Structure 1
Amino acid sequence: MKFPDAEGYFGRFGGNYYPPEVWPALEELASTYRSLRDTPDFQDALETVRVGLQGRPTPVHFLRKTTTEAGGARIYVKREDLNHTGAHKINHCVGFALLARKMGKRKLIAETGAGQHGVALATAAAYFGLECEVHMGAVDIGKQSSNVGRMRLLGAQVVAADAGQSALKEASDSAFSAYVEQHEHALYAIGSAIGPHPFPMIVRDFQSAVGQEARSQFLSLSGGFLPDHVVACLAGGSNAMGIYAGFLDDPAVTLTAVEPLGKSNETGKHAATLSFGTPGTLHGAQSVVLQQEDGTPSHVSSVASGLVYPGVGPEIAMLHEAGRLKVSAISDEEAISTFFRIAKSEGIIPALESSHALAFAIKLAERSPSSESVLVNLSGRGDKDIDYVLKYYQGEYDPER
């Protein structure tokens, strides 16, 4: 919690590289958040929404059959898929909505990739009586039609971003442009632990409920022992920072970020930023970026729409550089295979994003002793992915077909 510093930096990463015309709005947000975040009234209001609307706390659950099949370490999951709206994203969306009300803003603006953040934000906006504008890549709108329908049903305006790859990066660009134009009456409820100060700090703080709950729950389940490994999929870093927050000060707990290897590194069709990226600036902050020689972001690829992003949050970049965070990568093929495996063996349909983390956890468990334990942030459910996966992959990956 000592990061970021007063200038919004996590070590050499972070800061504020947005245009000067929005600096006053960001300073207002930072000041309001600092003044409210530890007050009983704000925390009580947040807790009321988390319990009543979201359904927190979410449980930690033992994957018994998968553990038996792996033959090694015990595998547990933090069931963020059981949140109302189906993913961890609502943790910070209700926080931003509450901040918007306190600041006198009437509208929330954000980007979304897989649509989970968009649905969560539309839900929070409806609950608090706010307008909502969600920017989404045109490709993702086609892949995630059920979530698009949910957003519209909840009253949100869905804006298609059709530049470039028409994916998450372009949706972020589009949402930022809309925020610049509307910042006097709207709040940008950014979708991950990315962007300029104070967004990475605010998203981390709201998501830290995941790690705090998980730590307490795991200690109760294990009779006082912490997990040996904590695993999360990684793009911007909201779900990762959320669960890591409960274990950062426990050096015996290995933290692993699982990136999307996409088709493969050899083809360049991936989104494994920490594995192959270099320091750069993206969406208003210094971080690690997958970029071309001229400094423009690279085209990236993953079967999981929420992972198609060429950067990571600045705090994630700092933790990796400091050696606190290990990194691995999982291919599209491994993630899809795990999607089917967990559904059939555990009765849980995981999001394709979460399937990356689960695929790595299974591989880790197979090579680890039975005395060890692995805790995975199951960040979202796969309802949004079912139509797409069954259309394009069932015959290839489902042995019963």
Structure 2
Amino acid sequence: MGHEVMANILAEQILQDANLETSRYTITELLQDPLSEFLTKTWVSAWNFCISHNLIWLADGLINYLMRLILLPIGEVSAVAAMHQALDYIAPDILICTADTAGKCLGSWAKEKQVPFFLFVTDLSIFIDLASPDAIHICYFPETANAIQSFPFQLTYWSQKLTRHTQISEQIKFIAKYLYDFVLCYPKNRIYRSINQDYQPQNQAQFHVIGPLREAKHFTSRDKTAIRERWQLSPTDSCILIASGSFGGKFCTKYLKYLDRLALKSLVIIVACGRDETLTIKIKNMARQKQNYRLLALDFVDNLHEWMSAVDVILARPSAGVLLESLLAHTPLLLPRLATANDRGAINFIEKYQLGECFQNQHDFQLKLNLLLEQKEFYQQRINELLKHYPSTFEQQRERLQKILLKR
């Protein structure tokens, strides 16, 4: 998932030349607990199933909200001793977390050992477990930093310490007060912050805003005309890429039907099927049939960033990853408004800076797509205007992050 992608970028591309030894662990690897491993695999499988079948509300309600409202404090209490023991054995000099739900346990160990602790926020909108008084937060844009500082740190989740030495009575008290604050008093104390508004700061959490960060290949200069010539795409064609991360699934087929009903001339549709082999076969079979447009199927490829630069519009499932990659490709996005809470930040950000369009239904889809195709230069100009505030090369990003992470 996106958390692992960012961990790999930091370890393999940002810190590889800094004379450091880097070690990567998942939370289940730290805990070495069969039950925890089973629950994590179940959670990931459930999430992937819901997303690939476009069951957005189910994924959001069960996993994003219910897990954090009910299971988060229980999981932290049960995991803290084992996690701290594992960290004692590893004994890192710097601790970086790119995952959800681990910040409290990791942060308390880092504070006890006086080790720098960085919490890398891989989404734009955030939940309660991504704001920590013990962490230096790294985020892409200032809107996320504003959301981080909007949480009141005097509430139980942040004010009550949780370490391996916490007594059982205190653990029970922590869980009870957490449930009171965030379940019984949920209308007042929400666990989620979108980025669709400016919040009044309620804490002094530390943060760094770094701008878009993806693998080095996304920062390479790309010639759209040359790429189109290589793949025999006419410069006059309207090219649309449908992408759903590595999930493939019903997202791609649903919006392919939307495009099938449009009467666009010289249309090329490229479907990024990811690891969905069934979808790849289906799209390739459709491509052999006579269509009013040219249809191409991509399985999981290493050069998707080039395809993103070659097309006019990227029709994608909302996520921070696709937002960052489309910005670095200088290609506007077309996003459905239906998205899980952690991905709604991409929608809010697109609309705030006019980096693309978002649609509600099929009629809205047609209007927004026509707008993107007719005013391509306007959206590219908006993208350029945003990017000029951030490092333009991967080398600049590497240098800046190394200074942030290694200055101590």
* Structure (1/2) with the larger strand percentage: 1
TM over 0.5: no
Which protein shows a greater Rg?
A: 2
TM-score, scaled relative to structure 2: 0.32
The higher relative CO (CA closer than 8 Å, separation ≥ 6) is in 1
